[in-house]
Structure 1
């Protein structure tokens, strides 16, 4: 009787740190490029250990995601059931744009220099086989607030509920065991417009108080709903589905750039897509999430985060 190889997941549940690098790459169109990328991804666990050992208290971690367009080129594995490119979501007023990306590296730790060193060694190993689509450096802002001034990530699952919300099980999809879907979006904020609102108006849009992060009551079913309500997904049986957000602020005051890098992990991609549909189209349709009047999505990409076991074996495909 053959023994089933245990599946080890990537560090999707790594704790929120003080700094992160979000690196999105495309793979060059050649067999040599794919071969180089496979080798680099198979060595991610070793590279992570090499950097993390420099400070074991820095909570260093890197999560790797693979995009739909490159999955079949990069692996010989059957595709995860829900994996597809990020769909553009066009509401009456705002659009969730769809942008390219083959690979995502979510690099984070308590030390910016560790993130830098990991990225330096990674790009050296990738050796010209990729093109940088986007690199964004995120940072923790005060007591885990976004640049709009509100606490971010309050609805995240905790404890055992984290893995239950983000890791694909055999009963979910036998081809994605131990993996997770991840969606990324960069939002640029109109801080001048946001600051023109009263605190009460801001709280009404977010659905929480600004100073102490207390939930406000939901609006009636046919009225304008808050961001908190629109981003809460409940299925037909009344079950609430959580996602794990590792959002971070980014920006440059001298350049007038202020933003939030949204990154959400989930075991069921439809949950995240329904959340975005409710935000951009509205629930009911036409009543979009008012936070979008002050936060514009400039990217949108979907990836699947395979298990560490799958990554380690990519070079043998």
Structure 2
């Protein structure tokens, strides 16, 4: 049985907001969150209807700990767990995250309006662990000057890379997503000669053409992030965005990678940080430092529209008040009973 995915495969847009939340303890917080999750499509329609050219969309991801709180006793996606910290030549930290909202649009105003509406509903029951506003930089380049996302899959390959099919029959239409916020030392990068930069990335900077394999160093970024299974290259779907602040100099790339199998992304990260072989790490990490790291499961749109109840959480009706025994004498025979029978009515819940 297939399920409709969330808009994971949406087009790259000019603006985005990445919101990572932690949800407070307590049933009231979970009840508020459940109601909001079911309403996300309606909120997207309400904001996006003002201009279809805005191409507004929102993908929702749920973290491992939150999954257990929302759905205790129910099956869980097999690849869902807290992000695994990586300690290699450089470190990839694991940071808290219960909910991810990946908001995209052609105009930042639409992203901001939707994010404001979401947090208007959740501000009392959650905290924002990270808020990052991404923007398209020239011709899809990152702040290091290279085009980002050139090797993203297209068409059916895009779906096969990102959307769960028969790998997990109970969670078809879903996906796994890992997010990391990388801060760049732009001054240090700009001091590196262009030819050396090209070897670190594995592409020519101006043309964005991939370097010949024989010319690439073994530590090139696109060498270490290329994964093969049974001799076939396997993909993930990236929607990375630059972000930056002139005031504090926090400039970088927000990495977001969707995959039908989270081990694909995890293997890429291991190869980057630990190296392949160990020690032959991604030299991009000498100037690009991750400060966050979280893993989420992205349920299908159908799943979010009809969230399952926790195991054993059958709905029960409110107990009815017991009528005290009447002391009134019975009505004389033939007299109509004027009662409206209100005591027999039961509220629907």
Query: TM-score, normalized by length of structure 1?
Result: 0.94
Q: Is the 8 A contact 1:79 1:175 kept in 2?
A: no
Aligned residue number for residue 145 of structure 2: 149
Q: Deviations over 1:100-125 (max 9, x none)?
A: 10000000101111111111111122
Match of 1:265 among 247, 252, 258: 258
1:178 aligns with 2:173: yes
Gaps (5+ residues) in structure 1? Answer: none
CA distance in 1, matches of 2:117, 2:301: 19
Q: Summarize the alignment of residues 278-317 of structure 1 with structure 2, pairs less than 5 Å apart.
A: 278-314=271-307
1:58 aligns with 2:58: no
CA distance in 1, matches of 2:299, 2:262: 14
Q: Deviations over 1:258-303 (max 9, x none)?
A: 1000000000100000000000000110011000000001000000
Shift of 1:216: 1.2
Aligned residue number for residue 208 of structure 1: 203
SS across alignment from 1:43: helix
Match of 1:227 among 221, 229, 235: 221
Q: Summarize the alignment of residues 43-82 of structure 1 with structure 2, pairs less than 5 Å apart.
A: 43-75=39-71, 77-82=74-79
Q: 1:35 to 1:277 in 2, by over 3 A?
A: same
CA distance in 2, matches of 1:10, 1:316: 20
Shift of 1:51: 1.1
How many residue pairs are counted as aligned between the two chains? 309
CA distance in 2, matches of 1:166, 1:187: 22
Report the more deviating stretch, 294-303 or 254-263. 254-263
Q: Deviations over 1:19-52 (max 9, x none)?
A: 0000000110111001100110011111111111
Structure having the higher Rg = 2
CA distance in 2, matches of 1:259, 1:95: 17
SS across alignment from 1:183: strand
CA distance in 2, matches of 1:138, 1:304: 22
Report the more deviating stretch, 142-151 or 70-79. 70-79
Aligned residue number for residue 84 of structure 1: 81
CA distance in 2, matches of 1:220, 1:52: 46
Which fold has the larger relative contact order, with Cα–Cα distance below 8 Å and residues 6 or more apart in sequence?
Answer: 1
Shift of 1:75: 3.0
CA distance in 1, matches of 2:299, 2:77: 9
Query: TM-score, normalized by length of structure 2?
Result: 0.86
Q: Deviations over 1:189-231 (max 9, x none)?
A: 011110111100000000000000111133699x632001101
Q: Summarize the alignment of residues 96-245 of structure 1 with structure 2, pairs less than 5 Å apart.
A: 96-169=92-165, 171-218=166-213, 224-235=218-229, 237-245=230-238
